Amino acid sequence: MKVLANDGIATTGVAALQDAGFEVILTKVAQEQLIDYINENEVAVLLVRSATKVRKDIIDGCPTLKIIGRGGVGMDNIDVAYAKDKGIHVINTPAASSHSVAELVFAHLFGMVRFLHDSNRNMPLEGDSKFKDLKKAYAKGIELRGKTLGVFGFGRIGQATAKIALGVGMKVVAYDPFIDAANVELEFFDGQTIDFHITTISKEEVLRQCDFLTLHVPAQEDYVISKTEFDLMKDGAGIINAARGGVIDEVALVDALKSGKISKAALDVFENEPTPEIQLLMNPDISLTPHIGAATGEAQDRIGSELADQIIEILK
């Protein structure tokens, strides 16, 4: 049987699938050519990340498909319910990238509070001529220790982010409409562990308490954060979105940054990918990455292995 990894798959996954007798195709097929390619090659498994969309046209037009797999968490680029109704298995890897995303959140956080994102733009241009001016401009950093991190969405990634926050010495407050409480276990290099029991609170209370807010929610029809939510936050708070583009009202975010209501922001995802708005890209108060939350070697190895294990279990 053939597996088309249209958005790529780690070598760990390729090796496991090949050892199980599958033919793995790593060709990148354009979206508009996908149906013809799948049918011509009798592809049984289609693996995607966020780039390839698997909508009703592909599901209806490709009778050989038995499995659609998403390397990652979010399934908003797949018509999941429709595929399942048609008898197609839909799989993903919800736990594989949690720690990688959480570390990216804190890469942004540490950079934001010490102005690294802006300093790394300006030091190469003016570091030799305006060193003292830049030193003064970036002299008002703050520590994360002792600050409060608000977490919207307290599933696997939200809890992984909370672990790092607790390790740094931050207080964690969380909101999740589907989770009342969670035990968060911090594991250390020598085998010691510490358990924290975190009870979720209301959305409004998280907004009021947090010094920084990180989002770990799925894509949805309405904004999760817009002007109403910004107005509830502390003056000068910060926000990080490494979840999905479209959960923050980007116009409201820019306005909040201009007014000083929000002092710092970090975006790994955008409403208009792959062409984010220029007012975001050029804003010195926003730390930016191009949707790389799960883009670590370790996460990709785990994703590849987990996808392979699920495919083999279903089809073998």
Which residues touch 39 (CB under 8 Å, ≥6 apart)? 61, 62, 63, 64
Q: At what angle do helices 297-315 and 98-113 cross, to 10 degrees?
A: 160
Catalytic residue selected from 244, 250, 302, 306: 244
Predicted confidence at residue 280, as pLDDT, reads: 98
The pTM (predicted TM-score) of the whole model is: 0.91
Catalytic residue selected from 250, 291, 302, 306: 291
Q: What is the 3-state secondary structure (H, E, C) of 144-183?
A: CCCCEEEEECCCHHHHHHHHHHHHHCCEEEEECCCCCEEE
Predicted confidence at residue 73, as pLDDT, reads: 86
Distance CA 23, CA 2 (A): 5
Predicted confidence at residue 178, as pLDDT, reads: 97
291 is catalytic: yes
- The domain ranges of the chain are 2-94+297-315, 98-288
Catalytic residue selected from 271, 273, 277, 298: 273
Tell which residue, 195, 190, 130, has the closest CA to residue 159: 195
The continuous run of DSSP H or E covering 313 comes out as helix 297-315
Which residues touch 201 (CB under 8 Å, ≥6 apart)? 173, 174, 175
With a cut of 70, which residues of the chain have pLDDT below it?
none
Same topology, domains 2-94+297-315 and 98-288? Answer is: yes
Distance CA 293, CA 266 (A): 12
The topology (CATH level 3) of 2-94+297-315 is Rossmann fold (3.40.50)
42 is catalytic: no
- CATH number listed for the domain at residues 98-288: 3.40.50.720
> Do residues 32 and 10 touch, judged by C-beta distance below 8 A?
no
